[in-house]
Chains A and B, each alone.
Chain A
Amino acid sequence: MNKTVSQDDLLIEEDRPLYVAHRTVYPQSVRGTFRTIKWRLMAVCLGIYYLLPFVRWHRGLGAPDQAVLLDLPNRRFYFFFIELWPQELYYFTGLLVLAAMALFLMNALGGRIWCGYLCPQTAWTDLFYAVERWVEGDRRERLRAAARPITMGRAAKRVLKHAIWLTVAWWTGGAWVLYFADAQTLVRDLATFQAPAIAYIWIGILTASTYLLAGYMREQVCVYMCPWPRIQAALTDEWALNVTYKYDRGEQRCSLKKSVDLRARGERVGDCIDCNQCAAVCPAGIDIRNGAQLGCIQCGLCIDACDAVMKKVGRKTRLIGYDNDINIRRRMDGKSELFKPVRPRTIVYASLIAVVCAVMLYALLSRTLLDLSVLHDRNPVAVKLSDGSIRNGYTVRLLNKRGFDRVVAIDIDGPPEASVHVVGVDSVTVDRPMIVLARDTTTELRVLVTAPVDNKSERSMPVRFRVTDIGLGEVASATDHFVLP
């Protein structure tokens, strides 16, 4: 920074309390490129959030036909063509890694893109601001109103505003619960007060949190509650594009009239006419001209505001724009601007995203629809039978992830002459117990393996359990050990 910092400024900076009491922000409406991007992204994100539960996806008889459903009671997650079981929760690890890497990549390319355009807090706060502006008027009207005693008309407007806010908040909570049960049924049940209490409780919680966070706490959430501003400060580098006031071009600030005079006299003055429009439109209530700061969510609205003014006064736009410190210094040194979106950092993030995507895709495509797990008895580990042979007991869990019942046979590769018996299963075909697996369930079996042993037998022998779908030929296997007492 070329700004000289006085000792007083430093003191103020150090003595600033950890928490500053809320001061209402009255952001002014603005039009422009970034405002349009924000409106569209908001429409897409909120549209997905509110409408996705109603999208149908046919999965066959007996299975839910909701495209996205987190079926907690039955422990199944449905996401379009994907059906996840509890033991496949590692996909969510993949998703979390992806989300983190996408955030890092965004951050490396364009700073807090997430904060400015995509974060739910930003989206709903923006929506709530829009409602407020629509009901109570723009910045100037509300500032003027705030300075005067309340009137009946304004009280009515305020009631209307809160009513709309609460409706939006309530619908936000309502949409949330629809992801956890069949949406159409739940909407009907909610309307007729037949829905489970937990649904109403969650709607209540999310209504309250949306109303409070988007209506009252707003930028306070970003500054005091959200960890991301701190993390992103550690992740960013000098190449990342950030919403920046180009002080090399803007300083010294000078009113329009005065600047014309001064320029006519050949003196150098900056392009900033100190109209404060950038600060007036800021939803976080900060002045971007003070440099990069914690409160800035980089939504770009100050760019729109500044551009509008610059056009009006016939100066070049993007006095505030996506830029970085390197280019400010380069311009001051008379060098050309330099943008480097492809750097080791972004390459690493992008390749990690690609790798995780590939791994997840592979896991998804190669996931088995018949599976088993084997647990050896721990007490006793082995039993001696009257004829001297040894028997081991196992708990075998079979998973049928298909949407229909099927018949499987169990057999083993194990110690020589070993035989297998499943408790409660009499039907044995060609020495193999046959089991019926109900669709989309797990079946737990007690399996006994008996083998004659002699003094040459090893203390522990591998035994492989194999299940074969006798109709489809699908095979799954798992290995355990056959041990002697």
Chain B
Amino acid sequence: MIEHNDIDRIPGRSTTGHEWDGIRELNTPLPRWWILAFYATILWAIGYWVVYPAWPLLSNYTTGALHYSTRASVVSDLAGLEKLRGEKMAVLGKASLTEIENDPALLALARARGKTVFADNCAPCHGSGAAGAKGYPNLNDDDWLWGGSLDQILQTIQFGARSGHAEAHEGQMLAFGRDGILKIGEIVTVANYVRSLSGLTTAANFDAAAATRIFAENCAVCHGENAKGNQALGAPNLTDGIWLYGSDEATLVETISYGRTGVMPAWSGRLDPITVKALAVYVHSLGGGQ
């Protein structure tokens, strides 16, 4: 028998018998509801083992009575989502690009769809806001290498540029320096000439007459006599304020010497036609296209 007065005088209740510096703890058993809840959780856990995948085995795991798998449920959820969207997206498939853009509801739908697809597929090169980067066009502005109408944008997304697809845009900026077509002096001269076309400053000893001749003989074929570019060939307009790779003399010399062959992948094989259509409308709506 424990040698202590195991009844606390004030509340008249028994204590645990332990004493710390004269303080004794009242013997308060766990409440019944708590005990019951505790047993209920144990039962629940056993139920879980039976119903859901639970035990890791050496090379596998117990699959449980329901054979539940998160992957399978994600797949079925995605299928359900596609089905849910199917009807609405089918409307986008039937409407023409112009019809979509002129109908507020369809435009909102296409923009919503295009925005997510853009973020997943296009943002790595063109940036999340489609503002582009060096070598990757800004899709918000009004300067389009291959054309900025709805149909032209659609075509570019579908087949890309220099993508290897049979219908892709083809066009090449030759490597005038590397291939020995122009000498370095001529390249510097024509680089200065191109800068002068859009009102940028030129080198002091720049020979305008020679530059005009070199441009007419080598560049005008693609960029045009007046250097306004040619969208059929993806040749940029050299007289505007927008430069894909940069407008300083060194960058221009590099461009002329080695050429530029930026590639845009073809998306028709990776994205379904309706999604590509929504994407075209989205991109066109960013800056209003051309």
The 8 A CB mask of B92-121 against A (1 = contact, 0 = none) is 000000000111100110010000000000
A446 touching B285 by the CB < 8 A rule?
A: yes
Contact B131 A379 (CB under 8 A): yes
Segment at the interface with B among A28-36, A252-260, A419-427: A419-427
Contact A380 B138 (CB under 8 A): yes
Which B residues touch A377, using CB under 8 A? 129
B240 touches A383 (CB 8 A): no
Task: Check if B141 sits within 8 Å of A448, measured CB to CB.
Answer: no
Kindly state the separation between the CA atoms of A446 and B129 in the bound complex, as whole angstroms: 14
- Nearest-neighbor residue (CB-CB) of A427 within chain B: B102
- Neighbouring B residues of A337 by C-beta, 8 Å: none
Closest chain A residue to B199 by CB distance? A388
Residues from chain B with a CB closer than 8 A to the CB of A300 are none
**Cα(A448)–Cα(B101), bound, Å:** 15
Residue from A379, A388, A421 in contact with B128 in the complex, judged by beta carbons closer than 8 Å: A379
Check if B287 sits within 8 Å of A448, measured CB to CB: yes
Residue B147 interfacial (CB < 8 Å): no
Question: Which residues of A1-38 are within 8 A (CB) of B?
Answer: 11, 15
B contact residues around A425 at 8 Å (CB): 102
Q: Are B101 and A423 in contact (CB under 8 A)?
A: yes
Most chain-B CB neighbours within 10 Å: which of A15, A380, A385, A387? A380
The residues of A that contact B138 with a CB separation of less than 8 Å are 380, 383
A393 lies within 8 A of chain B by Cβ: yes
The distance from the CB of B100 to the nearest CB of chain A, in whole angstroms, is 9
Chain A residues within an 8 Å CB radius of B140: 380, 383, 391, 393
Q: Which residue of chain B has its CB nearest to the CB of A385?
A: B142
Within 8 A of B (CB), among A418-469: 421, 423-426, 443-444, 446, 448
The reply to whether B241 and A423 contact each other, CB–CB distance below 8 Å, is: no
- Report if B10 contacts A (CB, 8 A): yes
CB-defined contacts of A426 to chain B, threshold 8 Å: 102
Question: Cβ of B287 and Cβ of A391 under 8 Å apart?
Answer: yes
Task: For B286, list chain A residues within 8 Å (CB).
Answer: 393
Q: Does A423 contact B104, Cβ atoms closer than 8 Å?
A: no
User: Does B155 count as interface, using CB distance less than 8 angstroms?
Assistant: no
Contact A386 B242 (CB under 8 A): yes
Residues on B with C-beta less than 8 A from A378 are 129
Shortest beta-carbon distance, A405 to chain B, in Å?
12
Q: Which residue of A lies closest to B101 (CB)?
A: A424
Nearest-neighbor residue (CB-CB) of B143 within chain A: A386
Residues B10 and A423 in contact, CB atoms below 8 Å apart: no
Q: Which positions in B face A, CB cutoff 8 Å?
A: 10-11, 101-104, 107-108, 111, 127-131, 138, 140-143, 237, 240-242, 285-288
Would you list 6 pairs from A and B whose C-beta atoms are within 8 A, ordered by A residue?
Answer: A383-B140, A383-B287, A385-B142, A386-B241, A391-B142, A446-B285
Binding site for B on A (CB under 8 A): 11, 15, 377-380, 383-388, 391, 393, 421, 423-426, 443-444, 446, 448
- Which 7 A-B pairs rank lowest in CB-CB distance, beginning with the nearest? A379-B129, A386-B240, A380-B131, A383-B140, A388-B241, A423-B285, A386-B143
Question: Known pairs A423-B107, A424-B101, A424-B285. 10 more at Cβ < 8 A?
Answer: A379-B131, A380-B129, A380-B131, A380-B140, A384-B141, A385-B143, A386-B143, A391-B141, A391-B142, A393-B140
